[in-house]
Amino acid sequence: MSQPSPDTLQLTGSGRLRNFLTIDALPRSILEEILDTAASFVDVGDRSIKKVPLLRGKTVINLFFEPSTRTRTTFELAAKRLSADVLNMDIARSSTSKGETLMDMLRNLEAMSADMFVVRHGDSGAVDYIARHATPEVAIINAGDGRHAHPTQAMLDMYTIRHYKGGFAGLKVAIVGDILHSRVARSEIHALNILGAEEVRVVAPRTLLPADIDSLGAKVFTRLEDGLRDADVVIALRLQKERMSAALLPSESEFFRLYGLTNERLAVAHPDAIVMHPGPINRGVEIASEVADGPRAVILHQVTFGIAVRMAVMSLCMSGRETEREAAHAAAR
């Protein structure tokens, strides 16, 4: 597959990461750098002092316009393990709920000498908009926007796959469930194709497939057993009922009967197949407890690796910006 063209909003002039908004416009070398850097951070959590000084003196602000527990917490832990000062904005109680515009709020936060915004927003494209309009001094990390992208979740999933499978060449990866509403699925499909997976599959009822699925680079299956056959990696997605504006499913029990992961259905996958889920899990809807708690599941490891991957993204963005500033100062002298 051809490499995407360089993205100046995300990359510096020398090709280093400056914002992390989406995966589809990034080259393979950047994704591999994130994975390699994350590998150097994985054992930080096992040390007696769980910190490295890379972001000492920097201020990271978490701006979550949607509810989140796992993602917000792991971003906060990642920033603290990099020694940054962290501020979590309670948007429901912020001045935006009193009529202040988003850009006015951002300008005020920038005036507090923030160095990085980690943003989750319910509207697709909102994080890109912020990156284009925020001061160039502030790095922007996308923590999930609408149905568009969730690039750090995709990268922690890539890290998990590489950890257990050694690489991506020759792998068949099946993504099962609510593809239509999943920003995770879109980012995973892009990442798997860029990193060289042999075959990326999506498995879902037609009502939960996006209209542009053929253009994303995934093979479509509507029957679960066909999609799971010989798969090396199986990723179950959460049913996002909060994003469903119409009745797209007869019932949750009917979805589980046709698309729920059970040991019996996974028998057609590769014997060494691993099972992943971005969480939170709906047991008995997307996945049976026997699978979620079974030997194939690596779901809790995804959470652990997520901290290291987010540390990698944050440190690489900050490092890219520091290098860009030094080059600009040198050119001005």
Backbone angles phi, psi at 25, to 5 degrees: -100, 10
Q: Is residue 71 annotated as involved in ligand binding?
A: yes
Q: Is residue 70 annotated as involved in ligand binding?
A: yes
* pLDDT score of 242: 63
- Give strand ranges (E) for the chain: 59-64, 85-90, 116-121, 139-145, 172-176, 199-203, 219-221, 233-236, 274-276
Q: Is residue 98 annotated as involved in ligand binding?
A: yes
Q: Is residue 165 annotated as involved in ligand binding?
A: no
pLDDT band at 244; cut points 50, 70, 90 = low
Q: What is the pTM of this model?
A: 0.92
Q: Is residue 150 annotated as involved in ligand binding?
A: yes
Q: Strands 219-221, 199-203: parallel, antiparallel or unpaired by DSSP?
A: parallel
Q: Is residue 120 annotated as involved in ligand binding?
A: yes
Q: Is residue 53 annotated as involved in ligand binding?
A: no
- pLDDT tens for 202-238 read 999 999 999 888 888 999 999 999 999 999 999 999 9
